[in-house]
């Protein structure tokens, strides 16, 4: 295959919606009405359904959809020593949530996601992406009752995330994504993100990715490229124009995850809209540099909406790819 035919690989950012039976079971588990084993069985069933769907439509790099996780930060905090979960904290008016809290020296007593990754990978010949929440985001979304400095907390978390990344690689993961959505609101701390990511990715041979979204990344470009990963995944469907224009002056030197559908609308984009978004990427980037995906995790959509958006992405990619090969 030539460079064009190999390019524009498709994937997902990470989370996918949980089917109703799993949402129901998670609520039952919270009330202690079913066992963890019963819940895990249903999480495996949902994982299998999502992997099969991605295979059917031809996604290149599949995800497990995070069927077994709740909140992306709390999930890791609950599995680390030295971290706990606070009582209810108020956010956005009348919404309450539980916030992780650092209470002691942070350690990872055992691998957290590795068995789930192995299960997902056993279901498919396609590469399954390993998915981790980054140290900066875990720290930024937690209280600190122990370290006393943001940097110390972030760097302690970087060490445990590095251990998890290495175990995933050891298990066979070819793609490792370390999500750092908190960066977008704190671009003044990009140096700390770079420093901590260097710890996480040091010594890894896997293709490393970080996902960030909804920030004014053009303001920190090209410094953004100093994050030590192979690929940066960004939402580009409804924004990113100013950032793209910067690529003209200073070429984007990494692979890019290029979001081409909005994850916040029920509306399903047309194939033509998505093709237009893919072509925007190709004005500035080579096809082999570009990975096509939704703007962000699809877990807030319904199962049917998420499937329709992923199908649209796949069809748009296939059409653009064959147009490129013919050209």
Can you give the binding site for Zn ion, defined by CB under 5 A?
A: 181, 213, 296
Q: Min. distance of Cβ 264 from Zn ion in angstroms?
A: 11
The residue among 181 and 287 lying less far from Zn ion, judged by its C-beta, is 181
The CA distance from 116 to 139, in Å, is 24
The residue among 42 and 224 lying less far from Zn ion, judged by its C-beta, is 224
Q: Min. distance of Cβ 107 from Zn ion in angstroms?
A: 28
The CA distance from 45 to 271, in Å, is 30
Residues 177-194: b if buried by 16+ CB within 10 A, e if exposed: bbbbbbbeeebebbebbb
The residue among 7 and 14 lying less far from Zn ion, judged by its C-beta, is 14
Q: Min. distance of Cβ 212 from Zn ion in angstroms?
A: 7
Name the burial class of residue 249, with classes exposed (0-12), middle (13-18) and buried (19+) by CB atoms within 10 angstroms of its CB: exposed
The residue among 25 and 232 lying less far from Zn ion, judged by its C-beta, is 232
Helices (H), ranges, 17-129: 20-30, 36-57, 74-78, 114-122
**Contact residues for 250 (Cβ-Cβ < 8 A; gap 6+):** 221, 222
The residue among 192 and 296 lying less far from Zn ion, judged by its C-beta, is 296
Q: Min. distance of Cβ 150 from Zn ion in angstroms?
A: 22
Count CB-CB contacts under 10 A for residue 169.
18
The residue among 82 and 181 lying less far from Zn ion, judged by its C-beta, is 181
Distances (CA, A) of 302 to 217, 261, 299, 306: 29, 15, 8, 6
Give the dihedral sign, CA 267/270/273/274. Answer: positive
- Could you tell me which of 301, 313, 295, 277 has the C-alpha nearest to residue 214? 295
The CA distance from 159 to 163, in Å, is 6
Q: Min. distance of Cβ 211 from Zn ion in angstroms?
A: 6
Q: Min. distance of Cβ 44 from Zn ion in angstroms?
A: 25
The residue among 127 and 215 lying less far from Zn ion, judged by its C-beta, is 215
Both tokens assigned to 45:
């069933």
The residue among 168 and 236 lying less far from Zn ion, judged by its C-beta, is 236
Three-state DSSP state, 78? helix
Q: Min. distance of Cβ 102 from Zn ion in angstroms?
A: 24
The CA distance from 41 to 23, in Å, is 13
Q: Min. distance of Cβ 178 from Zn ion in angstroms?
A: 13
CB 287 within 8 A of CB 7: yes
The residue among 170 and 300 lying less far from Zn ion, judged by its C-beta, is 300
Q: Min. distance of Cβ 194 from Zn ion in angstroms?
A: 19
């Amino acid at each position: 295959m030539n460079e064009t035919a190999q390019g524009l690989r498709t994937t997902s950012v990470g989370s996918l919606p949980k089917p109703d039976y799993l949402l129901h079971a998670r609520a039952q588990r919270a009330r202690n009405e079913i066992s963890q084993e019963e819940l895990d069985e249903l999480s495996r069933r949902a994982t299998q359904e999502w992997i099969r769907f991605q295979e059917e439509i031809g996604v290149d790099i599949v995800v497990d959809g995070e069927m077994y996780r709740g909140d992306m930060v709390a999930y890791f905090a609950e599995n680390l020593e030295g971290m706990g979960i606070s009582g209810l904290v108020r956010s956005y008016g009348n919404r309450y949530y539980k916030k992780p809290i650092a209470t002691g020296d942070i350690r990872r007593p055992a691998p957290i996601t590795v068995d789930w990754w192995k299960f997902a990978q056993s279901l498919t010949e396609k590469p399954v992406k390993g998915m981790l929440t980054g140290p900066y985001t875990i720290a930024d979304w937690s209280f600190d009752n122990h370290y006393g400095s943001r940097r110390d907390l972030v760097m302690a978390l970087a060490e445990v995330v590095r251990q998890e990344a290495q175990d995933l690689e050891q298990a066979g993961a070819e793609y490792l994504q370390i999500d750092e959505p908190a960066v977008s609101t704190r671009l003044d701390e990009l140096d700390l993100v770079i420093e901590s990511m260097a710890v996480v990715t040091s010594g890894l041979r896997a293709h490393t990715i970080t996902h960030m979204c909804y920030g004014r990344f053009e303001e920190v470009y090209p410094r953004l490229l100093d994050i030590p990963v192979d690929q940066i995944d960004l939402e580009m469907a409804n924004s990113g124009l100013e950032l793209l224009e910067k690529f003209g002056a200073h070429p984007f030197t990494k692979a890019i995850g290029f979001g081409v559908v909005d994850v916040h609308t029920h509306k399903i984009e047309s194939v033509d809209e998505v093709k237009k978004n893919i072509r925007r990427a190709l004005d500035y980037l080579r096809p082999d540099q570009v990975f096509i995906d939704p703007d962000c995790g699809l877990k807030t959509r319904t199962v049917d909406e998420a499937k329709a958006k992923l199908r649209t992405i796949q069809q748009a990619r296939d059409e653009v790819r064959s147009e490129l090969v013919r050209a």
